Amino acid sequence: MNVLIYIFLAIGAVFNGLGAVALIRFPDVYTRIHGATKCTTFGSIFSILAVVIYGFARGGGEGGTLAVHALLALVFLLLTNPTGSHALARGAHQAGIKPFQAVVDRLEDKR
């Protein structure tokens, strides 16, 4: 059980790091939203699943409370993270920010 926790923590740390690197390296707003949001959501899933496994393995009242509340936090994160990033991309497009090296904007009239 401990090996599974270590593996999940490592996967979560690697993907959250990829999200931070994407935030620094990508050229414009839309690619930064793409890289940062997807990588941090995927990394957070595995980090919190490690906490859930730890809680169920410890057992008892406190372990069960830890696991259920961590699962609830994961559900809220999965609901709110894509919604917020979509709203940010829509707001950036309506603010008139063009994609990097863009020639044609086919959503120009939807602004």
Residues touching another protein, count (CB under 8 A): 50
Q: Which of 57, 41, 66 is CA-nearest to residue 3?
A: 57
Q: 41: which 2 tokens?
A: 């959501």
Asked if 73 touches another protein (CB under 8 A), the answer is yes
Asked if 82 touches another protein (CB under 8 A), the answer is no
CB of 101 to another protein, least distance (A): 15
Query: Of 6 and 105, which CB lies nearer to another protein in the complex structure?
Result: 6
Cα–Cα distance for residue pair 24/17, rounded to 1 Å: 11
Site for another protein in 24-43 (CB under 8 A): 24, 29, 32-33, 36-37, 40-41, 43
Asked if 88 touches another protein (CB under 8 A), the answer is yes
Residues 6+ apart with CB under 8 A from 22: 31, 32, 34, 35, 36, 39
